[in-house]
Structure 1
C-alpha cells in the first residue's frame, strides 16, 4: 500500500502540482481513506519528500542507462532531455514551480543533491565529445560543467522562467542548444542542425 500511495501521489503531483493536490484528492483517487495515507506518512510534506527522492533515483537510473548506450555525446544529451521531459510529464503543468514556491526546503535540497550528479555527467560527456571531434578541445571542462549545472538549476527558477510566460519545453530545448553551440566544433554544429531539422520535420 505504501508504494501504491507513493506512485499515485507522484503521478498526481506531476500532473497537477505539489500544492494543488491535497491528501483528500489522493485518498479519493485511490478509493481509500485519508487515515490510511496517514498510517504511512505523517503529513503531506513527508510524502512529497519521499516522492521527490524516488523520482530523482529513477531519473538518475534512466540517465545512467542512456550514458551506457552506444550514442555519440550530442545524441546522449538530446535523448536525456527527451527522457526527463517525458518522465516528468511537465509540458502541460508547472509542478516544480509549486514545489519551489510552497516547499522551498525540499526544492533547495533537490537542487543541491542534483548538482554533483550533473557535474559528473557533463564532464564525462564533454570528454567523449572532444575525443570524437564534436566538442572543442580548448574548453575548460570543470568550468563548463559548472555553467551547465547552474543553467539546469536556473531554468527551474520560477521567478526567472515563470511557466505562464515561458513554455517549459521551449526553455529546455533552447538551453540545450545554447550549451551545445558554445562547446561544439563546426562538425558538432553541423550535426546539431541536422538533428534540429529532423525534429522540426517530425513536429517534435
Structure 2
C-alpha cells in the first residue's frame, strides 16, 4: 500500500505540483481514507519528501546512464546539461519549482543528498579528463567538485539571477563554459570550442 500511495502521489504532484495536491485529494483518487495514508506517512511533508527523493533518484539514474564513459568527459558534461534542460522544462519543472519555493527545508535536505549522489560521477569525469589531458593535472579535485556543485545550484537562485533579467538555461550554459575554461588545458580548450560551436 505504501508504494501505491507513493505512486499515486507522484502522479498527482507531477501533474498539479506539490502545492496544489492535498492528502484528501490523494485519498479520494485512491478510494481510501486519509487515515490509511497516515499509517505509512506521518504527515504531508514526509510524503512530499519521499516523492521528491524518488524524482531525484530517477534523474540520478538517467545521469548515471549518460556517464558510462562512452563520450569524452567534456561531451558528457554537455550531454548531462542537455538532459537536465529537457527534464527541468518537462514533467519535473512544476514540482521542483514548488519544492524550492514552498518547502525549502525539504529542498535543502535533498540538496545535501544530491551532492552525495553526484560526487562519484563528477570525480570520475574529472579524473578521466585529466588522464586525457583535457583538464589540468594540478586541480584540487575536492575543491573543484564543490565549487562546481555550488555554481550549478547557485544558477537556479532567482534572487541572484532574477527571471526578468536572466534566462535560467542561458545562465547554466554560461556557467558550464565558465567552469570548463577554468579547468581545461589548452588541448581541452580546443575541444571545448568545438563543443560550443556544435551547441550553438
Quickly name the TM-score band, shorter chain normalised.
0.7 to 0.9
Which stretches in structure 2 are left out of the alignment for 5+ residues?
A: none
Q: Does 1:107 align with 2:107?
A: yes
Aligned to 2:51: 51
Q: Does 1:132 align with 2:162?
A: no
1:90-105 residue pairs with structure 2 within 5 A?
A: 95-105=95-105
Aligned to 2:21: 22
**29, 32, 35: which one aligns with 1:32:** 29
CA contact (8 A) 1:155 1:161 kept: yes
CA RMSD of aligned residues (A): 3.0
Aligned to 1:6: 9
How far apart are the structure 1 equivalents of 2:79 and 2:156?
A: 19
1:110-189 residue pairs with structure 2 within 5 A?
A: 110-189=110-189
Which structure has more relative contact order (CA 8 Å, sep 6+)? It is 1
Q: Does 1:83 align with 2:83?
A: yes
Measured after TM superposition, the shift of residue 132 of structure 1 is 0.6
CA contact (8 A) 1:9 1:51 kept: no
Q: TM-score w.r.t. structure 2 length? A: 0.80
How far apart are the structure 2 equivalents of 1:133 and 1:99?
A: 40
| SS in structure 2 of the partner of residue 32 of structure 1 | helix
Measured after TM superposition, the shift of residue 85 of structure 1 is 2.2
